[in-house]
């Protein structure tokens, strides 16, 4: 084991996960590749969504990958930061909306 949990060099070894479970791994990567192909959404739009989700799930490998990918797909810095704000808004909103649950409980417990 490394002394840190994350090593940037591990990113390019992602494909090695198929070594311990080839069939599931292969199916996952086939699916992954299919998802990011241009469809109803452009490749650039999908890269921006992936960048936002990467921040929401706070995955450093994904942030590394999709920052590069967004640049390579022609997204600009403003679009990328707006995507991160979308993630932040949803994450923040998801925390705050539970404030309603808290308020309901306060109402239950107080006179």
Partner 1 sequence: MPIPVKSLKAQQHQFANPAYQLEVLQHAGTEEGDFPHFGAKLQEHQLYPLQPTGTTILQVNVGKMCNQTCRHCHVDAGPDRKEIMTRATMQLCLDALAKSPQLTTVDLTGGAPEMNPDFRWFVEQLSGMGRQVIVRCNLTIILANPKYHDLPEFFKKHQVQVVSSLPYFSASRTDAQRGDGVFEKSIKALQMLNVVGYGQEGGGLELNLVYNPSGAFLPASQRSLEAEFKRRLLGAYGVVFNSLFCITNLPISRYLDYLIESGNYSSYMEKLVTAFNPEAAANVMCRNTISVGWDGALYDCDFNQMLELKVQPGTPQHIRDFDLGQLDQREIVLNQHCYGCTAGAGSSCGGSTT
Catalog residues that contact partner 1 under the rule CB under 8 A: 38, 42-44, 68, 71-74, 76-78
- In the bound state with partner 1, the residue whose beta carbon lies nearer, of 21 and 42, is 42
The residues, ordered by sequence, that sit 6+ positions from 52 with a Cβ below 8 Å of its Cβ are 83, 84, 86, 87
Tell the smallest beta-carbon distance from residue 45 to partner 1 (Å): 10
Tell the smallest beta-carbon distance from residue 78 to partner 1 (Å): 8
Under a CB-based contact definition with an 8 Å cutoff, are residues 49 and 83 in contact? yes
Radius of gyration of the chain (CA): 19
Tell the smallest beta-carbon distance from residue 84 to partner 1 (Å): 17
- In the bound state with partner 1, the residue whose beta carbon lies nearer, of 2 and 108, is 2
- In the bound state with partner 1, the residue whose beta carbon lies nearer, of 44 and 91, is 44
Tokens 């940037």, located at residue: 8
């Amino acid at each position: 084991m490394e002394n840190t949990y994350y090593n940037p060099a591990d990113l390019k070894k992602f494909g090695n996960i198929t070594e311990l479970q080839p069939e599931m791994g292969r199916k996952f990567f086939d699916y992954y590749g299919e998802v990011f192909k241009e469809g109803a959404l452009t490749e650039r739009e999908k890269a921006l969504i992936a960048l936002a989700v990467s921040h929401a799930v706070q995955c450093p490998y994904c942030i590394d990958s999709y920052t590069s990918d967004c640049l390579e797909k022609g997204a600009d810095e403003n679009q990328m930061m707006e995507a991160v704000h979308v993630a932040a808004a949803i994450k923040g909103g998801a925390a705050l909306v539970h404030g309603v649950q808290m308020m309901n409980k306060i109402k239950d417990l107080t006179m």
